[in-house]
Amino acid sequence: MDDPALTRLQSLPSWLLGRAGALAHRLVAERLAEAGLRMGHHAVLCALAEYGPLAQAELSRTVRIDPKDMVAALNELQSRALVTRERDPRDARKNLITLSAAGRTLLHEAEELGRRANADLTAPLTPAEREQLTTLVGKLLTGR
């Protein structure tokens, strides 16, 4: 007799990756919440640390956050003095977003929280399996 339909579904890579992704998202979100951050906040801080000051629209495209949602995220980050918003000296129609010293400090804390969440996620795996998982999932996402 064939496996039941639900058993077949739950053995598919797409199902397993979806469930693993949901677990990963939850673990990281819970850890970031310890620092008062959401995942979008973390992405904004990372982008500013990596690329330096960015125009608000460019930042939105870089981290793939809808411009309307970006305004809310930046308002929250700015209210905590984690970023600054200033008129772009080259184009007064644009806001230039900069990571503050407090933002950089919190980013380091968030990176550690993210490391812990990923350690929790991959705890059942050996170090070699963790590396293999990362490689294989990377291949799926890049097609290479």
Q: Strands, E, within the chain: which ranges?
A: 54-55, 83-88, 91-99
pLDDT of residue 1: 56
Are 51 and 98 in contact by the 8 Å Cβ rule? The answer is: no
Range 37-112: architecture per CATH: Orthogonal Bundle (1.10)
CA dist., res. 61 & res. 143, Å (int): 22
Are 117 and 27 in contact by the 8 Å Cβ rule? The answer is: yes
pLDDT tens digits, one per residue of 73-118: 999 999 999 999 999 888 888 889 999 999 999 999 999 999 999 9
pTM, rounded to two decimals = 0.86
- The conformation of residue 144, written as its DSSP 8-state character, comes to -
What confidence tier does 41 reach under pLDDT thresholds 50, 70, 90? very high
pLDDT tens digits, one per residue of 42-63: 999 999 999 999 999 999 999 9
Token pair of 2, please? Answer: 């064939």
pLDDT of residue 144: 85
